[in-house]
Structure 1
Amino acid sequence: MAQEVRGVVARKQGEPVSVETIIVPDPGPGEAVVKVQTCGVCHTDLHYREGGINDEFPFLLGHEAAGVVEAVGSDVTEVAPGDFVILNWRAVCGQCRACQRGRPWYCFDTHNAKQPMTLTDGTALSPALGIGAFAEKTLVAAGQCTKVPEVAPAAAGLLGCGVMAGIGAAINTGGVGRGDSVAVIGCGGVGSASVLGASLAGAAKIIAVDIDDRKLEQARKLGATHTVNGKTEDPIEAVRALTDGFGTDVAIDAVGRPETWQQAFYTRDHAGTVVLVGVPTPDMRLEMPLIDFFSRGGSLKSSWYGDCLPSRDFPMLVDLYQQGRLDLDAFVTETISLDGVEASFEKMHHGDVLRSVVVL
């Protein structure tokens, strides 16, 4: 039987979000209903509200979530009611050309729930990243539920997007290894997680770059060995000075702007790797001498969701958290209610939080 729950809805571009009653249907084949315990407020949710992703309003926001499976469709075997899960937005199909080649983290046909959640008047909602977890309960594809050991949900849920994206950008996409040097440009939630990922991988020198001293201090706590304030220093010159003039083995742009991407490009060593994990807007353009791409060599990569495989990476990272080797709690700046999401967007804009986390 369909259920009525509260959820955070963005009805129109740029307008404040509202908490409204939404209808969650019973799970059909391949689907699961999850009772959401926590959901982080990610910058992607703000992108949805601002129309930066698409214009399929109204949106049911929220996607960085953990909770407990309440019900599953008749053919679902991978999870069962009562399972503690982290929600993911890359439920791989297993059949596309990427999956068939053994690269499921590049899956081209990821799954979402087939049935829509709706407003009480029947208007279909577009769930953010196919999840829509700023809600007491949500309907997802069963493959979007990754079962993990039960731990603090406010911390675990952050693996569902931002923390995974950052750690994965360093380890999976950038291939950071023992003894490497790494620059991370932009130390919000994703960039700070990239710093942590580089530290986990054994990087010898991790240079955090930002224009906010508060974020740089947090980056130090998560493993940065050096910091550069881009307001007072030229990031390219500063990073090169810290690497004997050579640049870093890996440079990660966790902002996603033309100027920060160029900083990453020119702060890396010859044949080094640039990783773009910050999300640009569709209007952004890049103009650079083509000869620089040729003459510097190396790799230029985009990292989508940290090139993660949730079934592989989420349990591993939860295990590291349980061992005390992965400080997920450091990312939880505050806990809020559903009514606090709009205010949290403003705090995010001003750089006051790494993550606000909705607790239901």
Structure 2
Amino acid sequence: MSQTVKAVIARSEGADVELVDILVPDPGPGEAVVKVQSCGVCHTDLHYREGGINDEFPFLLGHEAAGHVEAVGEGVTDVAPGDFVILNWRAVCGQCRACAKGEPQYCFDTHNATQAMTLADGDMAGTPLTPALGIGAFAEKTLVAAGQCTKVDPSADAAAVGLLGCGVMAGYGAAVNTGGVTRGDSIAVIGCGGVGDAAIAGAHIAGATTIIAVDTDPRKLEIAKGFGATHVVDASSEDTVERIRELTGGFGADVVVEAVGLPQTYEQAFYARDLAGTVVLVGVPTPEKEVTLPMIEIFGRGGSLKSSWYGDCLPSRDFPMLVDLYQQGRFDLDAFVTERIGLGDVESAFDKMHSGDVLRSVVMV
């Protein structure tokens, strides 16, 4: 039997979000209903509202979430009612060619719940909702594929560990999983929002000795130091490429993470890496963005140009490990939480995001 719960939707492109009643069905085979405890406000949610992802309105927003499993459907064995879980948007299939090669972090056939959550009231009652990244967690409860639930230590603070569901995992994984940063390496991170700061924190945990934060906002650069940056570059007044080279003995960084998603910052990343170094694109570009590089430079510099999708993570492997690091005091997830807000405060959180006043607003349900 369906349940009626409060949730935040984007009804049409560019319109303010609304707090409405929605219907959440009982879980079917392979599905789970999760009582949401916390959900971070991510730029991706704003992209959905602005029509930057697709036009499948109305959207049920929210995806950086943690909560407790309330009910599971037939065939679900990995989680059970009462489990404390972080939600992920890449439930691996276990059968595609990536999974068959033992690389499930690249699964090409990830899945979501098959049933739809719907609007409960008004002229549009019964209208199916499109959940952001297949999750839709700006809600009291949400329906997901059971594989989207990763069980972790229930004593962890939901507001902090829920952020592993997207931005923090993307940044940490870009540096560690995709970039392969390790002991003694140098890394530069261009763009010091939540994703960039997570890349800095990941590099620090991995043992990088030179960690360079690059941004145009002095406030963000100061925050980056707290996550482990050893040097900062103010791109509004300094030549990013030359400064990174100066800080790495004239050579460039072993790894450069681009966490902005713009052609000009990607070009800076390309030229700021050492010979045989690695560039990792984790900033999400809009579809019209293009970059042009001389092929002789691509060939002559060697190394790797990579993109990092969700930090190339495997939630079942990475979430519990990172929660353990958090519990040990080695990964300060609390520092990403700027404020705790209610479901009715999402629109104002978007405004604060635009002005750069928050690292993460976290909805507490």
- Short-chain TM bin: over 0.9
Match of 1:139 among 140, 143, 151: 143
**Partner in structure 2 of residue 242 of structure 1:** 247
Residue 24 (structure 1) shift: 0.3
Pairing partner for 1:149 from 153, 161, 182: 153
In structure 1, what is the Cα distance between the partners aligned to 2:165 and 2:48? Answer: 17
Matching residue's letter, 1:9 = I
Unaligned ranges ≥5, structure 1? none
Moved over 2 A (4+): none
Residue identity matched to 2:111:
H
Q: What is the correspondence of 1:1-360 to structure 2 with a 5 Å cutoff?
A: 1-120=1-120, 121-150=125-154, 151-360=156-365
One-letter amino acid of the counterpart of residue 264, structure 1: A
What's the secondary structure of 1:94's corresponding residue?
A: coil
Mapped to 1, the partners of 2:346 and 2:260 lie a distance apart of 22
Structure 2: segments with no counterpart, 5+ residues: none
1:285 positional shift? 1.0
Cα shift at 1:15: 1.1
SS of the residue corresponding to residue 138 of structure 2 reads coil
The RMSD of aligned alpha carbons is: 0.6
Q: Deviations over 1:102-141 (max 9, x none)?
A: 0000000001000000002100000000000000000000
Question: Residue type of the partner of 1:161?
Answer: C
Shift of 1:244: 1.4
Aligned residues: 360
Specify the code of the residue in structure 2 equivalent to 1:182: I
User: Identity across aligned pairs (percent)?
Assistant: 74
SS of alignment partner, residue 7 of structure 2: strand
Deviation at 1:291, TM superposition (A): 1.6
SS in 1 for 2:199: helix
SS at match of 1:256: coil
Deviation for aligned residue 1:288:
2.0
Secondary structure of 1:99 counterpart: helix
- Structure 1: how far apart are the matches of 2:318 and 2:165? 10
In 2, Cα distance between equivalents of 1:273 and 1:226: 19
SS in 2 for 1:77: coil
Query: Aligned with 1:134: secondary structure?
Result: coil
